[in-house]
A and B are shown apart, each in its own frame.
Chain A
Amino acid sequence: MNIFRILYLLVFMVLFPATAFSGVEINEFSSVEMENQYKKLVNELRCLVCQNQNLADSNSELAQDLRKEVYQMLTKGSSDEEIIDFMVARYGDFVLYKPPFKPVTFLLWFGPFVLLFFAVLVVVFMIKNNQKTEVVALDEDEKLQAEKLLNADAEKGNNK
């Protein structure tokens, strides 16, 4: 009885392994370079439906369609720039995970450095301010009192 059950399971596993892969697209590449190019592109392009995923990671329908589009363009011999231009023309700079360097994005590129500059200014300002606090000199009486306290502490320490 048990052996039948195992056999049944084995037959089932041999016959239906495909169900485990049903979500995976199988693309055939004519060369390793092309495969690398494909991987690079789908990693650099954003899925606009899920926004914080790239085309490679997303399972949304649009991402699947766009992956297919990238694959087809590659098989037709399009260059990386052509594919990226194709995407930007339709979806804007937002499809690129790495924003292009142009006036609209200057704040994005320089913003952190501007903030860093101000942070350094604040730190310098604070350090300078701290140094300015004057040292108050003790008069004779206070010095005696301080000495007494210190000696008392020292004696206590010795007794232990």
Chain B
Amino acid sequence: MWRYLLPLGLFVVLVVFLSIGLSLDPKKVPSPLIGKSAPSFQLPELQLADQMVAPEKYIDDIWLLNVWASWCVSCRQEHPVLNRLVKEHEVNIVGLNYKDQRADGIRWLEQRGNPYIANAFDEKGRAGIDWGVYGVPETFIIDRKGVIRYKHTGPVSQTVVDEEILPMLRKLHGEVSL
């Protein structure tokens, strides 16, 4: 009996482990920044070069930081989703234009629409390092106290908006700020 059950049991264990391994996305690395204060930066605005963008400005607000670039192919896929998000809901999205050319970034917004309340122009990618950015696009949700509560790596799809971003925003709006 054991002679047959043991290999079968081992096989089942192997299948379970392999199927878990296959369904995990190795690109999804848990962010150590969740629960931490949003890293600070002082960067010029993409379209209004004489203005500065800093996360401190949005304290007492719930906001999203979306890291994007005109050279980023999957940002193209994500952009209409963000446009729709700000159209249908009252959401503040701050863009972090990551390692881009200013003219390319501005053209991108003119051609595809601008869902952002402001765009920080991170030409050197130094702010990106502080935010632990390793693949564009990335999206963060920051609460009223300036703490990062959520991070999504890769393009935001409508499913991600409906199942993760909106519920998180509702939860944060429900939290009474002290």
Nearest CB of chain A from residue B126's CB, rounded to whole Å: 8
Given contacts A51-B26, A90-B129, contact A62 B134 (CB under 8 A): yes
Interface size on A, residues (CB 8 A): 16
The residue of chain B having its C-beta at the shortest distance from the C-beta of A51 within the complex is B26
Across-interface contacts of B33 in A (CB, < 8 A): 90
Given contacts A61-B99, A62-B134, A65-B125, contact A92 B30 (CB under 8 A): yes
Tell yes or no: B58 within 8 A of A by CB. Answer: no
Given contacts A49-B135, A61-B99, A65-B125, contact A92 B29 (CB under 8 A): yes
Question: A24-51 vs B: 1/0 string, CB under 8 Å?
Answer: 0000000000000000000000001101
Tell yes or no: A74 within 8 A of B by CB. Answer: no
Tell yes or no: B56 within 8 A of A by CB. Answer: no
Asked whether B31 lies within 8 Å of A48 as measured between CB atoms, the reply is: no
Tell yes or no: A83 within 8 A of B by CB. Answer: no
Contact of A94 among B29, B129, B130, B135 (CB under 8 A): B29
Contact of B32 among A51, A89, A122 (CB under 8 A): A89
Given contacts A61-B99, A65-B125, A65-B129, contact A92 B32 (CB under 8 A): yes
C-alpha gap A91/B31 in the complex (Å): 6
Tell yes or no: B132 within 8 A of A by CB. Answer: yes
**Chain B: interface secondary structure?**
loop
Across-interface contacts of A69 in B (CB, < 8 A): 129
C-alpha gap A65/B134 in the complex (Å): 11
Asked whether B135 lies within 8 Å of A88 as measured between CB atoms, the reply is: no
Nearest CB of chain A from residue B92's CB, rounded to whole Å: 24
The residue of chain B having its C-beta at the shortest distance from the C-beta of A92 within the complex is B32
Across-interface contacts of A84 in B (CB, < 8 A): none
Given contacts A48-B29, A51-B26, A61-B99, contact A91 B132 (CB under 8 A): yes
Contact of A88 among B32, B129, B131 (CB under 8 A): B32
Q: Tell me the residues in window 86-110 of chain B with beta carbons closer than 8 Å to chain A beta carbons.
A: 99
C-alpha gap A61/B135 in the complex (Å): 11
The residue of chain B having its C-beta at the shortest distance from the C-beta of A89 within the complex is B32
Q: Tell me the residues in window 50-104 of chain A with beta carbons closer than 8 Å to chain B beta carbons.
A: 51, 61-62, 65-66, 69, 88-94
The residue of chain B having its C-beta at the shortest distance from the C-beta of A63 within the complex is B134
Asked whether B125 lies within 8 Å of A91 as measured between CB atoms, the reply is: no
Across-interface contacts of A94 in B (CB, < 8 A): 29-30
Question: B27-48 vs A: 1/0 string, CB under 8 Å?
Answer: 1011111000000000000000
Q: Tell me the residues in window 89-143 of chain A with beta carbons closer than 8 Å to chain B beta carbons.
A: 89-94, 122
Given contacts A49-B134, A49-B135, contact A66 B129 (CB under 8 A): yes
Given contacts A49-B135, A61-B99, contact A90 B26 (CB under 8 A): no
B residues adjacent to A (C-beta < 8 A): 6, 26-27, 29-33, 99, 124-125, 129-132, 134-135
A residues adjacent to B (C-beta < 8 A): 48-49, 51, 61-62, 65-66, 69, 88-94, 122
Using A61-B125, A90-B131, A91-B134 as known contacts, list a sample of 5 further A-B pairs with CB atoms less than 8 Å apart, ordered by residue number in A. A49-B135, A51-B27, A62-B134, A92-B29, A93-B32
